[in-house]
Amino acid sequence: MAECTARCINIPIGRWQGHEPPDPNAVGLLVLGGVLIRKVGIEGRFGAELLGDGDLLRPWQEDLDPPTLRAAGDWRVLAPTRIAVLDEQFGRLLGRYPELTCCLLSRAVQRSRHLAVNMAIVHQARVDVRLHMLLWHLASRWGRVRADGVTVPIKLTHSVLADLVAARRPTVTTALSELSKRGVVHTVPDGWLLRGQPPGDFVRITHSST
């Protein structure tokens, strides 16, 4: 597998226009580290997903069917990100290693499962519950256990959190204050600290998505 290599690119924090396709038959871009957010908006309301290590992207891919709704898209890099460009040459070599193909397909399926969990979270009636579930969902991927709880080392503004949980920013600020008063969510210099256990409903949601 040593011959199956790819060129890597570093992306700084800030808005990202998306990478131009290296060639028509490129496999995609594999995130090796960092955090990005992809936002899609319709009529001024946005949905969003966080992407990171192991996610497979194809920012240049067009919809297979003509869209019936006009949607705006936006990419931002929240933490310095490194990606591998899986170009056409990589794709040709990939055919020799079916186990690598399975790994990439697994990554694509896992991304769709994360989105399904996100959809279940935003259907919760209370915004504080959505935020509590979302942060535990992020902890399952990026969390670090320490003596006083679990940290999620991602700096997310209240505006970004609002897009992730389908709420208004002022409502998110109020809900985070309530979670802090209850002692279950706190801000720390590198992100968020979660204390206690995940919400019971969240455990059932994640189990049903597997």
Percent of the chain residues past pLDDT 90, beyond the cut: 64
Task: Tell which of 74, 98, 121 closes a domain.
Answer: 121
Give the pTM.
Answer: 0.85
| 13 and 93 share one domain | yes
C-alpha 161 chain-centroid distance: 12
* pLDDT confidence bin for 193, thresholds 50/70/90: very high
The answer to the question of residue 35 being in a domain is: yes
pLDDT recorded at residue 3: 73
What is the arithmetic mean of pLDDT over 72-98?
90
| 146 and 131 share one domain | yes
pLDDT recorded at residue 202: 54
Task: Tell which of 89, 121, 153 closes a domain.
Answer: 121
Q: Is the pLDDT of residue 207 over 50?
A: no
The answer to the question of residue 93 being in a domain is: yes
Domain that residue 176 falls in: 126-208
CB 75 within 8 A of CB 105: no
Handedness of CA 22, 27, 28, 34 (dihedral sign): negative
| 132 and 80 share one domain | no
| 17 and 111 share one domain | yes
| 91 and 19 share one domain | yes
8: tokens are 């890597």
Residue 184 has what DSSP assignment? S
| 97 and 197 share one domain | no
| 105 and 17 share one domain | yes
What is the arithmetic mean of pLDDT over 126-141?
95
Query: What's the total number of domains in the chain?
Result: 2
* pLDDT confidence bin for 65, thresholds 50/70/90: confident
What is the arithmetic mean of pLDDT over 48-58?
93
Question: 35-54 burial, b if ≥16 CB within 10 A, otherwise e?
Answer: bbbbbeeeeeebbbbbbbeb
88-125 pLDDT, tens digit each: 888 888 888 888 889 999 999 999 999 999 999 999 99
